[in-house]
Amino acid sequence: MARYIFITGGVVSSLGKGLASAALGALLQARGFTVRLRKLDPYLNVDPGTMSPFEHGEVFVTDDGAETDLDLGHYERFTGVAARATDSVSSGRIYSTVLEKERRGDYLGKTIQVIPHVTDEIKNFLRIGEDEVDFMLCEIGGTVGDIEGLPFFEAIRQFSQEKPRGQCIFMHLTLLPWIKASGELKTKPTQHSVKELRSIGIAPDVLVCRSEWPIPQKERDKLALFCNVRPDAVIAAQDLKSIYEAPLAYHREGMDQAVLDAFQISPAPRPELSRWEDVADRIFNAEGEVKVAIVGKYTQLEDAYKSIAEALTHGGMANRVRVKAEWIDSEIFEREDPAPWLEGFHAILVPGGFGERGTEGKVRAAQFARERRVPYLGICLGMQMAVIEAARNLAGLTDAGSEEFDHEAGRKRFTPVVYHLKEWIQGNHTIARKLDDDKGGTMRLGAYTANLKEGSNVARIYGTNTVEERHRHRYEVDVKYRDKLEKAGLCFSGMSPDGRLPEIVEWSDHPWFIGVQFHPELKSKPFAPHPLFADFIRAAIETSRLV
Ligand code: GLN
């Protein structure tokens, strides 16, 4: 039966709880254990699928088609364990399950209450797959003391009591602020946060303290004494140059040892950290720099394209170069010539997105990349815009566009080269959708197969003829324009197994121009860079002769 590690946060949000959890997962793996990581989010949305990327950052899609929190992306990147729908839950999901049960009459006339009904449902979630791994790491979103978080804290408290002694531990992440005037790291906010945690019945076993500076022994002792943890279990998590240093840095600080000690696992298996040493070596000993322009809409919040930024870094690591990604708002290209903006870049990436705003600018970025022979990677909407560019400028469909934009505007302006997908096959059944369906969870989501065309660039890059990649879209390039577009030179190099859905397009006579309907960035890892990103960066180096 799995041992449980509950990860909570205090003092302020955005401390990198997700990263700390992911790094701990990687360290436990390095010691030979199997792990699974989960996120419990107290907000009321059923899942983050309907949240704006400006609000919540990227939506991470799992193979089994769940739209989840971006922390699941960190978990996967650090452990290589594919996240599943049952690794993410929110208050909204829990409450909707409870209410469905109530309507069905499952509670036999009882009054439905937070304790025990909501907390029971949270505990049911925690138990899923408990026999499958050695360690289950469960991160609670938000900070201790948040009103919405209370049922989750109560549920993990109850859960730890119901399990045999020593089966569950609590790791709490806090911040030690640096006071410039006195030159001191302050422990008081951490003390208060632990006090808050203990007032709801949870005593942390391990304290992870984020700080800008090393934590002097005096402060460590103070934290141990006032927060009632063992001195060895006060872990300093100093700011790092790269997130991928975290497993090595936290190991040096004794995080994994403190966790194993808390479970009284002795002797602890020795860690095998060569994977992370290689990752660190590739990051810190990179030679040369590749500049990639990301032409998108959600450019103010870096988290909106988290996995893309990470996958580009991995692509750099595969080639031992640094990748400098710069975000450019595509709307600029609707007013200005893209050339002066894009000329300094070695490669151009147009990411996914929703809605018409900024899309004409993306079409112009795709045109620039095609004409100037600059490596281009179009992801989802970035592929659709590249196809629209080809249709308009080379296939004579001058009013080509996407049905998405006509639908949004409420009038018909475009030839729908990209149309609303009403039906598709998943496994052995057909999924049907209407334009006015609910927004939540109704896209074409999760892993689907694509067959690759023999001799194409993508077949060479992947080194195989079928791939499984993750999708999240409502619209699709219409295969009925395939002949026209192929005559113009656009190669449909990846298709769904039934041949109806274009999955990949490429310009065969271009140094590197590929559009994909799926999200390859979601499967890239620092120790296993995604082949498309690795080859995209290789091409950027080659075409610009950087090295
Ligand atoms: N808005 C487009 C669609 O729904 C693209 C989605 C995306 O880029 N993820 O098809």
DSSP 483-498: HHHHHTTEEEEEE-TT
**Residue 380 annotated among the catalytic residues of the structure:** yes
Task: Report whether 156 contacts 140 (CB < 8 A).
Answer: yes
* pLDDT digits 0-9 by tens, 257-302: 999 999 999 888 999 999 999 999 999 999 999 999 999 987 667 7
H or E element that contains 505: strand 502-507
What residues flank ligand 1, with Cβ below 6 Å?
352-354, 380-381, 404, 472-475
Q: How far apart are CA 258 and CA 255, in angstroms?
A: 5
Question: Is residue 201 within 8 Å of 215, Cβ to Cβ?
Answer: no
C-alpha span between 402 and 134 (Å, rounded): 48
Multiple choice CATH, 3-279, 3.30.1380.10, 3.50.50.60, 3.40.50.300, 2.40.70.10: 3.40.50.300
β pairing state of 400-402 and 415-420 = parallel
Strand-pair partners of 296: 329
Residue 228 has pLDDT above 90, yes or no: yes
CA of 355 relative to ligand 1 center, distance in Å: 8
Alpha helical stretches, state H, 171-294: 188-199, 217-227, 246-252, 255-262, 274-284
Closest Cα partner for 173 from 4, 8, 5, 6? 8
Q: Which residues lie closer than 8 Å to 501 by C-beta, 6 or more apart?
A: 421, 424, 476, 479, 495, 517
Catalytic (active site) residue 287: no
For the CA of 353, the closest atom of ligand 1 is: 8
Among 121, 380, 491, 510, which one carries the catalytic annotation? 380
Q: How far is the CA of 360 from the centre of ligand 1 (A)?
A: 15
pLDDT at 546 over 70: no
Structural tokens at position 409: 């505007």
Q: What tens digit of pLDDT does each residue of 474-494 get?
A: 999 999 999 999 999 999 999
Could you read off the pLDDT of 63-122 as tens digits, one per residue?
A: 999 999 999 999 999 999 999 999 999 999 999 999 999 999 999 889 999 999 999 999
Ligand 1 mutation pick, 60, 307, 349, 354, max ligand atoms within 8 A of CB:
354
Same CATH topology for 3-279 and 286-546: the answer is: yes
- Domain boundary assignment for the chain: 3-279, 286-546
Residue 296 in 3-state DSSP?
Answer: strand
9-13-16-22 Cα dihedral, nearest 10 degrees: 50
Query: Which of the residue ranges 50-54, 191-195, 424-428 would you say has the lowest mean pLDDT?
Result: 50-54
pLDDT at 57: 82
Place of tokens 């002097």: 216
DSSP string, 442-493: -SEEEEEEEEEPTTSHHHHHHTSSEEEEEEEESEEE-GGGHHHHHHTTEEEE
d(C-alpha 202, C-alpha 183), whole Å: 32
Q: Which fold has domain 286-546?
A: Rossmann fold (3.40.50)
Return the structure tokens found at 184. 């001191």
